[in-house]
Amino acid sequence: MVVALDAMASDHGPSVLVQGAVAAARDFGIPVALVGNKDILEPLIEKEMTPTERLSLPVEMVHATQVVAMDESPAEALRKKKDSSIQVAFDLVKQGRADAVVSAGNSGATLATAMFTLGRIKGVRPAIATMFPTLKKPSLMIDVGANVDCKPSHLFQFAVMGSLFVQEVLHRPAPRIGILSIGEEGSKGNQLVKQTRDLLQESTLNFVGNVEGRDCFTGDVDVVVCDGFVGNICLKLSEGLAEAILRMLKAELESSFLATMGYGLARKAFRNFRKRVDYAEYGGAPLLGVKGVAIICHGRSASKAIRNAIRMAHGLAESKLADKLETAMSDAAVSR
């Protein structure tokens, strides 16, 4: 199982991507195809590996002449840049030379290229799922950005895909599915949520009802279902808030001698805490509903996030999640 990494596009440029890929090959023995301009990537690869590793690690390079910029229109990139690193990465999967794609580049372009090149599972709206930390085990939120205007049937599909992901990848039986709303009672929510509830209640999923924003982090549901507009806002809001809280706290902790000393003593606790809330631990967000494996990483991903995303991509490819999803989706279409 080979993971193709778009090694050109991220907020931090190719070097963190190469580092992450080499780490994945070194730590987990996962074969990685680094896709991008060889004049840029070769020196980085040389620098990152010892001479022995250069012979032994399963890291190869696949040349691509173009790069999709972070702010480029996905539709235009798809049409005009046939030799972009993201397109070539998906072509490798199409050709059977790789089994999964990881990208920290333009997420719209990754999404569009994945859908176009791999194809969608029949009748399904692909959605982006993301894991997030809770007070208990991590939960999954789906969709966090692929579909901004949704119908109840789309949200229902997200629930089916999220449930299967948690079951197969996180090995939790009968995942508890909640729908994100503004009150626990079934009467609370907008039209979309109320109509989706009806579909979920009639299904064989382990639907536990509405989840409020406040309950997302208690870990009492395994899958939080929402439309991609709401999910993307939640994702970015959480990120912004966590960052703001840590910055405000740091400012307070540096404001006096005693506090600074206390901070010094508790440094290890802070490090553990940061690790716990760090999205990099989770790697990336899988795009579910396409005929293959695609992981979308944060543009700001550090090498650790890339490494972990490659591990997740490899696991998804091995577990044949996309095939299982295809079966589940056609069953679900029947059973509801």
Is 240 a binding residue for a second copy by CB under 8 A? The answer is yes
Contact indicator for 154, 147 with CB cutoff of 8 Å: yes
Residue 276 Cβ vs a second copy, minimum distance, rounded to whole Å? 6
> Binding a second copy by CB under 8 A: which of 174, 248, 320, 327?
248
Helices 257-265, 267-277: axis angle to 10 degrees equals 70
Interface residue with a second copy among 179, 216, 280, 293 (CB under 8 A) is 216
**Pick from 27, 46, 83, 185: which binds a second copy (CB under 8 A)?**
185
Q: Is 237 in the site for a second copy (CB under 8 A)?
A: yes
Of 97, 123, 137, 261, the one binding a second copy by CB under 8 A = 261
- Smallest gap from Cβ 334 to a second copy, in A, equals 30
Question: How many Å apart are CA 132 and CA 85, to the nearest integer?
Answer: 29
At which residue do the structure tokens 């990465």 appear?
89
**Is 127 a residue that touches a second copy (CB under 8 A)?**
no
Gap between the Cα atoms of 136 and 216, Å rounded: 11
Residue 235 near a second copy by CB under 8 A: yes
Work out whether 255 is an interface residue with a second copy (CB under 8 A): yes
Residue 49 binds a second copy (CB under 8 A): no
206 lines the binding site for a second copy (CB under 8 A): no
Separation of alpha carbons 200 and 185, rounded Å: 15
The answer to whether residue 11 forms part of the interface with a second copy (CB under 8 A) is no
Dist. CA 293–CA 226, nearest whole Å: 22
String of DSSP letters for 183-228: SSSTT-S-HHHHHHHHHHHHSSSEEEEEEEGGGGGGT--SEEE--H
Q: Which is nearer to a second copy, 21 or 146 (CB)?
A: 146
Give the nearest distance from C-beta 72 to a second copy in angstroms.
11
Q: Which is nearer to a second copy, 69 or 148 (CB)?
A: 148
Is residue 116 a contact point for a second copy (CB under 8 A)?
no
Residue 273 touches a second copy, criterion: CB under 8 A? yes
Reported as half-sphere exposure (CB side, CA atoms, 13 A), residue 312 has a value of 30
Can you tell me which of 60, 212, 220, 281 binds a second copy, judged by CB under 8 A?
A: 212
Is residue 230 part of the contact set for a second copy (CB under 8 A)? yes
Q: Is 290 strand, coil or helix?
A: strand
Q: Are 21 and 314 in contact (CB under 8 A)?
A: no
- Is residue 229 a contact residue for a second copy (CB under 8 A)? yes
Nearer to a second copy among residue 135 and residue 334 (C-beta): 135
In the bound complex, what is the minimum distance in angstroms from residue 146's beta carbon to a second copy?
A: 11
Mark 287-298 as b/e (b = at least 16 C-beta within 10 Å): bbbbbbbbbbbb
Binder to a second copy among 263, 278, 319, 330 (CB under 8 A)? 263
How far is Cα 298 from Cα 277, in angstroms, rounded to an integer? Answer: 15
User: Strands 127-132 and 139-142: what pairing?
Assistant: antiparallel
Nearer to a second copy, 171 or 276 (CB): 276
Taking the CB of residue 142, how many other CB atoms lie within 10 A of it? 30
Chain residues binding a second copy by CB under 8 A are: 71, 133-135, 145, 148-149, 180-182, 185, 189-191, 193, 212-218, 228-230, 232-245, 247-249, 252-253, 255-256, 258-259, 261-270, 272-273, 276-277
